[in-house]
Amino acid sequence: MKKIILLCFSFLILQAKPLISVSIAPQAFFVKKIAADTLNINVILPPNSNEHNFEFKPSVMQKLEKSDIYFTIGLEFEKVFLDKFKQNFPKLQIINIQKNITLIQTHDAHEHSHEHEHHEHEHFDPHTWLDPILVQTMALNIYNALIQKYPQNKNLYKQNLDQFLTELDSLNLQIASKLEKLKNKEFIVYHPSWTYFAKRYNLIQIPVEILGKEPKSKDLQKLIALIKNKNIKIIFVQNGFPENAAKTLAKECNAKIYKIDHLSYEWENELLKTAEALSQNL
């Protein structure tokens, strides 16, 4: 019995792959494309969660502590803890995969009624992972971090990177060919995560959500008028976000609800599916 346990134990040690962490599932898809089976990948944001409204739990911290690298992607929940991670987990390398990407600025005016004044906060839209061309830059950032940490795998990683970059080129062309002939350019989506996608393919994203919250009645009325005026037939909603406003809009405007998932691990399929839905319904 002891021998068997010992054997199993040494097998586990031999099999143990390095662990790396990412914030969201699409990043895990990108890392897996380059690293193949050489690494274990820990995804921090659970499925069907809102990426802007998430807090780290102790179990998440434990896995981060065991990771060699944490690939961040500019989300609010990362920023809260990054300094603490740097202090407490000196071995953990933190790599921003948005390096060399020009982020789009968003201006959110927050009203602080108790102070009777307006504050302008500058934010950067983090949703770069929905544009295949920006993903090429992120893939390169991932590759550079991985070959530094695991130089023994450089040949494999280089081969996989080149393959992935080619796939991204072809995905971009496929999506562009679905969308370039559309006359209507505007689409309605609950959470505005498609900013970079819209920019890449010359579409106009109209969000239902306002400053991260369900819209108020007067905002809904404006949207209803716009949807009717433009004869928009589809309203995109995302897992993990409220659906009441979108349902009201759909009912009032005789439009249909279409579920998309901007945080899916099936990243490539999801982008193609969304592009197809847009091309059929705009």
Residues that bind Zn ion in the complex, under the rule CB under 5 A: 51, 193
Give the residue at shortest CB distance from Zn ion. Answer: 193
R_g of the chain, CA atoms, integer Å = 21
Q: Which is nearer to Zn ion, 145 or 208 (CB)?
A: 208
Q: Give me the DSSP letters along 1-13.
A: -HHHHHHHHHHHH
Least spacing, CB of residue 51 vs Zn ion, in Å? 5
Least spacing, CB of residue 194 vs Zn ion, in Å? 10
Q: Which is nearer to Zn ion, 51 or 261 (CB)?
A: 51
Please write down the long-range contacts of 61-64, taking CB distance under 8 Å and 24 or more positions apart: 63/19, 63/21, 64/21, 64/89, 64/92
Q: How far apart are CA 187 and CA 204, in angstroms?
A: 6
Within 8 A by CB and 6+ apart from 3, the residues are none
Angle between helices 25-35 and 154-179 (to 10 degrees): 130
Q: Which is nearer to Zn ion, 128 or 193 (CB)?
A: 193
Q: Which is nearer to Zn ion, 51 or 131 (CB)?
A: 51
For residue 151, the one-letter residue type is: P
Least spacing, CB of residue 160 vs Zn ion, in Å? 28
Q: Which is nearer to Zn ion, 53 or 88 (CB)?
A: 53
Residue 21: name the closest of 89, 103, 102 by CA.
89
CB 46: neighbour CB atoms within 10 A?
A: 12
Least spacing, CB of residue 255 vs Zn ion, in Å? 22
DSSP 109: E
Q: Which is nearer to Zn ion, 126 or 150 (CB)?
A: 126
Least spacing, CB of residue 1 vs Zn ion, in Å? 52
Least spacing, CB of residue 46 vs Zn ion, in Å? 15
Q: How big is the CA angle at 50 (ends 216 and 73), to the nearest 5 degrees? A: 120
- Residues 164 and 141 sit within 8 Å (Cβ to Cβ): no
